[in-house]
Amino acid sequence: MQTLTVDLGDRSYPIFIGEQLLARPELFLPYLAGKQVCVVSNEAIAPLYLDTLRDTLRNTSFDSVILPDGEQYKTLEQLNKIFDGLLDRRHNRTTTLIALGGGVVGDMTGFAAACYQRGVAFIQVPTTLLSQVDSSVGGKTGVNHPLGKNMIGAFHQPRCVIADIDTLRTLPQREFSAGIAEIVKYGLICDREFYNWLSQQMSGLMARDTQLLSEAIYRSCANKARVVAADEREGGLRAILNLGHTFGHAIETAQGYGTWLHGEAVAVGMVMAADLSARLGWISAADVDGLRQLLLQAKLPVTAPGGMSVDQFLQLMAVDKKVLDGQLRLVLLRELGNAQVTSDFPLAELQACIIAAQ
C-alpha cells in the first residue's frame, strides 16, 4: 500500500492506494467522527462491494443509501434522497458518510456531507479510475443543474481517501479509458516526465497491470494534491486542473449528461486546448499529434461529436465557471508539462480550433 498526504493544514488527509483495502477496518475506523456510518453508493456498485464494507465496519451503527447509477442523476432531487435517508434513520452531527462509487457518488456524497446539519465528516472510497485520480482529491463536491455542470456545490474535504485498485478489475472498458484521460492530463499540465512515462507505459496500463496502475494513480494524486495544497479554493493555480474541461463541459452539456463520459469529453477538450495552444505557437503540431495518438491508444475519442455549431460551443462555454465578468478564460499549454490560464487568444483562432475538432 502507498500513502500520500494532501497538505491542507488542519484539513489535511491521507490517500491510501493499494489492493484489498476495503477489508481493512484500520483504514476506516480512525477517521470516523462517531459511531454512526452511512455508506452512499449506487445500484451498480453496491452489489459488488457493500457487503464487504458492512463486514469491515461491523462494529459501527451502519446504514446505506443507494442511488441510481449515472451522471444524469447528479441532481438536487437525488441529493435529497441522501438527506431523507439520514434524517429517517436519525443520523446526527457526528455521523460519517462514506462515498462508495465513482465521481458522481463521490461528488454527491461529499456535498451531502457538506450540507447535512451544516457539515458532517465523510470518507471517499472511489471505485473508478477517474474518481481515484481526480474527484476524490481536492474537496470539490456538488451536483449539476440543467443549465450547467457542477454549478451547485461546496468545498468539503474528506477525512481520508481509500483507493482500492481491486475495484478497477470490474470497471467497464469505457470508464477505464475515461480515467486514463485524467491521468494524461496531470502529465500535460505539470509533469512532463510523467507524460513521457505514460507514453511509454500505455499498453501496460491498458492491460491493467497492477504495479503500473498503482504508480499512475499515485503520481496523479500527488500532482493533484500539490496543486490543491497551493490553492485550495481555486483562486489561481488550481484552475490548470481544468485543462480540457471548458471544451469538455460544452460537449457534455450539448449531448446531455451521461451520454458522453466526463473523461471522454475531457480527452477531446485536451486535444482542442492543445490544438489552440499550437495555433498560438506555444507547442508544436507534432506535440498535438503525439497527444492524439496517446489518447487513441487509450481508446479515447479525439474529435468532438458532429452537429455542434461553433456558436453552440461558444455559448455553452460561456456558462462555464471559468468565465469572469464575461471574459472567457481557458487553460492552454505553454509547453508539454506546463499549463497556463489565459484569456489572451484571438476569437478567430478559437473558432478555427472548434471547427477543426469536428
Applying CB under 8 A, the residues found at the interface with its own copies are: 34-36, 76, 79-80, 83-84, 87-88, 90, 92-94, 114-119, 140, 142, 145, 147-148, 151-155, 233, 318-319, 321, 323-326
Burial 328-354 (b: 16+ CB within 10 A, else e): bbbbbbeebbebbbeeebeeeebeebb
249 annotated active-site:
yes
Indicate the helix (H) or strand (E) that contains 63: strand 61-67
Among this protein's residues, is 140 annotated catalytic? Answer: yes
42 is catalytic: no
43 is known as an active-site residue: no
- CA-CA distances (angstroms) from residue 231 to 133, 157, 159, 282? 18, 13, 19, 25
The secondary element (H helix, E strand) that includes residue 154 is strand 148-155
Task: Identify the three-state secondary structure at position 140.
Answer: strand
DSSP state of 303: S
CA distance 320 to 298: 27
Least distance to its own copies, CB of residue 147, Å: 4
Q: What whole-number distance in Å separates Cα of residue 2 and Cα of residue 279? A: 41
| Residue 145: active-site member | no
Q: CB 302 → its own copies: shortest distance, Å?
A: 30
Catalytic position from the list 156, 238, 292, 329: 238
Give 354's contacts (C-beta < 8 A, 6+ positions apart): 272, 304, 310, 313, 314
Q: Other C-beta atoms within 10 Å of 104: how many?
A: 27
Which is the catalytic residue, given 71, 182, 252, 264?
A: 182
For the CB of residue 80, give the shortest distance to its own copies in the complex, in Å: 6
Please answer whether residues 63 and 89 qualify as being in contact, where contact means their C-beta atoms are separated by less than 8 angstroms.
Answer: yes
Shortest spacing between CB 209 and its own copies, in angstroms: 36
Nearest CB to its own copies, comparing residues 84 and 193: 84
Q: Does the annotation mark 234 as catalytic?
A: yes
Q: How far is the CB of 279 from its own copies (least distance, A)?
A: 26
In the set 234, 335, 338, 349, the catalytic residue is 234
DSSP 257: B
* Min dist. Cβ of residue 153 to its own copies (A): 5
The active-site residue out of 242, 252, 279, 292 is: 242
Q: What is the DSSP letter of 125?
A: E
Catalytic residue among 149, 249, 279, 292: 249
* Catalytic site residue from 245, 279, 322, 329: 245
118 is catalytic: yes
**Catalytic entry in 81, 91, 140, 219:** 140
> Residue 100 or residue 239: which is nearer to its own copies going by CB?
239
Residues 6+ apart with CB under 8 A from 32: 60, 96, 121, 123, 159
**Complex with its own copies: residue 136 or 167, whichever CB lies closer:** 136
Amino acid at 142: G
Place of cell 507534432: 286
For its own copies, the closer of residues 73 and 218 by Cβ is 73
Minimum CB distance to its own copies smaller for 2 or for 342 = 342
Contacts of 93 (CB under 8 A, 6+ apart): 117, 120
Residue 242 annotated among the catalytic residues of the structure: yes
Between 51 and 84, whose beta carbon lies closer to its own copies? 84
Interatomic CA distance for residues 178 and 126, integer angstroms: 14
Q: How near is the Cβ of 315 to its own copies at its closest, in Å?
A: 10
Q: Is 262 annotated in the active site?
A: yes
Q: How far apart are CA 18 and CA 165, in angstroms?
A: 6
Q: Which is nearer to its own copies, 28 or 116 (CB)?
A: 116
The residues annotated as belonging to the active site are 118, 140, 182, 224, 234, 238, 242, 245, 249, 262
